[in-house]
Structures are given as structure tokens and as C-alpha cells.
Amino acid sequence: MQANIKFKRPIAKAISTALKAADKKNDALKKAYFHLVNEGKLQIVVGNKSEMSCFEIETLTVDEYINCDAFSLPADAVADAISMCHGTQDIEIVLTYSNGGACEVTFSDLNCYRLIKSSEAEKVHIEYLEKSKLNTFTSIPRANFSQLLYDLDKEKPLEAVQVSSTPETPNLVKMKIQRDGDIFLKDLAYQGILDIDFFMDERTYATVHKITNESHDEFINISSQFNNLVIKTECCAYSFTTTGADEFLQKKVIKTESEIDFFVNAYKLKKEVSSYIKLSEIKHQEQVFLLFNNGFLMFCSMSEHVVCAKIFKLNCLSSIEFSGAFTANLNILNKLKVKDVTTFHEMYTALTKTDDGKYNLSFFNKNDKNHPFYSVSCTSVPNQKKDLIKIFDKYPALSTDWGHEDNENMILDLF
């Protein structure tokens, strides 16, 4: 018995992507589940422990009705064969069944030969399909859901987000967003988004965004049990097991106040801090001091034999009279992501303090000056202030000659 199955190239591309994501280290999950079901659909299930995809392909050309059991194929072998197909043509697979129930799969119109032999369907895929029957979905207009994801893009970088809307608040979507470990809330109005409550971690958000952009369906269907999310389009259901949901639920919004806020040349700041890391004694200390002193900020790291420091003239938005000494982890500060000179020539930065007295040096992107994209925990060290001022005073006398550079950071070398 033989079945010739043809499906469109865009679907083949999505299937190939899912096949490549199969867990190659797991004996069961490195295989893909195939089943030609009674309705004339080809069902394919493949994935890994955190993400599973289920395709149902309806555009089939089948020589005759075939009632056969499900089977497994090596996912990487199927992905390899699909990649051999010509770029724009539809994909055609040929299933040939023997009397014993085994199946051999070949591919038409390849410039090479590929034959893949089946094995028994894996229990993990069968259980996934049984569990999927219990899912209940909420339909959302794809255009509206795309707009929601577009608005979430403005909150990047984000680590996790909860999106919820209830019948009691029609067309109002509440978002709980985690960025740099901190939580903030946002409410946005959308038409046609009702009665949903789902959680996405950073990885899931990126994939959901990609699925929605590539879909041409009128609606996106969502099913959620908070740490399990299913996004369903016309031909595929994508299931995600998200991480960190329980911890995320417990997190509350923490109020912060700015001790001093200013613009600083983050590119030069990062360059200076990175130079400290290269020195073995300094790197071993893992510590950098910050001295705020009358409109200037000095970064300083020191060891038994080495002292490194630079002074930045700040373009302060609050009082320049703020003064204080702090310490931070050098390695964490060095992880600040700075791409180029121009974008970060003037980065909005603040020393913030939480209600419970914790300090952070917080960096903000140009689109959001309320919620930092990166923060470095700081500890107040008033007992170090005198020693840091002595280093500060080793610079040439601070004169009003600097005043003409209103919007630039003046950096002086100690050595």
C-alpha cells in the first residue's frame, strides 16, 4: 500500500524547523511521530522537554484509503530530506506500507535518494496527544494579538510576562512584566482580547512572536495552565512548558526612588570597567567603588599593588550636591551590554534606592526611563569615602574650564 502526501512549502519549512529542535540526547524525543489518521490528515508530533509541535496537514493526495498505525521516524533524517527539496516547490512524501505494518518513507523530486524506515510510535508522543484533547482554547484575532506582541516588544529586554484579561474588564489587557529581575505593571486597551491569562518566559515569547508573524490565519487560539501554554494555528499546535512561573507569581512590584539621576557615556564607562577585568589582581578582587562627588562620578578598583580610577563629569538631572561612596561587583557591572559609541553616548542612568534600603546603579534605554534594562546592586560604604576622595583629589584641579562641555562626559586618567 502506498500514500503520496503533498503539502505546501511554508508548512514544510515550519515542520523542518520543529524537526531540527528535537531533543537529540533523548532516545524517544529525537524521533518524530507520524500518523495518517482517518480524516485524511497527516499528523506529525515532534519536540523536546520544553517545546512540542503538533502538525495536522490536510492538503493530502492519497492513492487509496489506508488504515495504519502511528509510527516514528528519526527527526534529523526527515529534516535533512526536506532540506534537499528545491526551494520553492511543494514537498511530496511517499509512504509505502508492508503487510507487517512497517513503513518506508521516500521523497519525490530530490536530487538525491533518501529512504527512512519507521519504528514504533513513542509513548511520549502518544501521551502528549491524549493530553492535548483536554485543552480548551480562546480565539483572538491575529491582528490584535500581533499588536499586543508589538507593544510588548517596546518593553524589551523582558525576562517574563503575564498577560491577562477578564470579562469584567472587557478589552483591557493587564501585563505584569519582569525586566532585570524587577516587576512592573502595564495596562493596555485592545479590541477582541477577552478572558485570557497566560505566562511567557523569554524563550517562549520569542517563539510565539515568530509563530504569529508567520501565520496568515484570521485567529490565534490560546490555551493556558500558566506554566503550560499552547498556541494553535490552522495547521499546527505549539505547546510550551515555561520556566519560572511559580517564582514569577510570588514577585511584587518594588517601589524605588532616585538618589541621583544623570546622563553618562556608557560606552566609555564599559570600556573602563572592562580594562579593570584584564588586570589579574583587580579581577580577583571582583570589586569596583563608585564615588559620587559634587556632579562627578569616579569608578575605582584597587588591589595591593594596583589602583585604577576614572572620573566622569555627569550631566545631572537632579541635584549635583549628592555625595556618597558605594561598592559593586565588577564582573556584574562588566556585563552591561553596550553596542556602539553613538547609541550609548548619553545613557540615562540613576542610583536608585528601594523601600527596604537597597541601592542599584540602574541603566535605562531611550524608550523607557521608568524601568531599567540593567541594574547593578550597590552597597553603601561610607567608611571608604575619605580614602576614595584622596584618590579623587590626585586628579588635576577641577576647574570651571570643563563647563563648556555641557553634554559630554569628561574622563581623566589617573595614571
- Above 60 in pLDDT, residue 403? no
Specify whether 184 is located in the same domain as 167.
yes
Specify whether 329 is located in the same domain as 268.
yes
Specify whether 146 is located in the same domain as 77.
no
Average pLDDT, the chain: 84
In whole angstroms, what is the distance from residue 10 CA to residue 202 CA? Answer: 25
Specify whether 162 is located in the same domain as 294.
no
Specify whether 267 is located in the same domain as 407.
yes
Specify whether 382 is located in the same domain as 272.
yes
**pLDDT tens per residue across span 243-281:** 888 899 889 988 889 999 999 888 889 999 999 999 998
DSSP state of 14: H
Looking at the structure of the chain, the number of domains it has is 3
Handedness of CA 317, 320, 324, 328 (dihedral sign): positive
10 Å CB burial of residue 39 (0-12, 13-18, 19+) is exposed
In whole angstroms, what is the distance from residue 206 CA to residue 156 CA? Answer: 11
Specify whether 294 is located in the same domain as 221.
no
Specify whether 173 is located in the same domain as 85.
no
DSSP state of 402: G
* Domain encompassing residue 219: 138-250
**pLDDT tens per residue across span 215-229:** 889 999 999 987 899
**Domain stops at, among 234, 250, 266:** 250
- What is the pTM for the complete model shown? 0.74
Q: Is residue 372 reached through a cis peptide bond, with omega within 30 degrees of 0 on the bond before it?
A: no
**pLDDT tens per residue across span 329-347:** 999 999 998 765 445 578 8
CATH (domain of 166): 3.10.150.10
- Above 70 in pLDDT, residue 101? no
Specify whether 403 is located in the same domain as 275.
yes
In whole angstroms, what is the distance from residue 163 CA to residue 172 CA? Answer: 10
- Above 90 in pLDDT, residue 386? yes
Specify whether 173 is located in the same domain as 125.
no
**Domain stops at, among 98, 132, 166:** 132
Specify whether 128 is located in the same domain as 143.
no
**Domain stops at, among 229, 250, 271:** 250
Specify whether 143 is located in the same domain as 209.
yes
Q: Reduce the DSSP state of residue 36 to 3 states and report it.
A: strand
In whole angstroms, what is the distance from residue 329 CA to residue 377 CA? Answer: 8
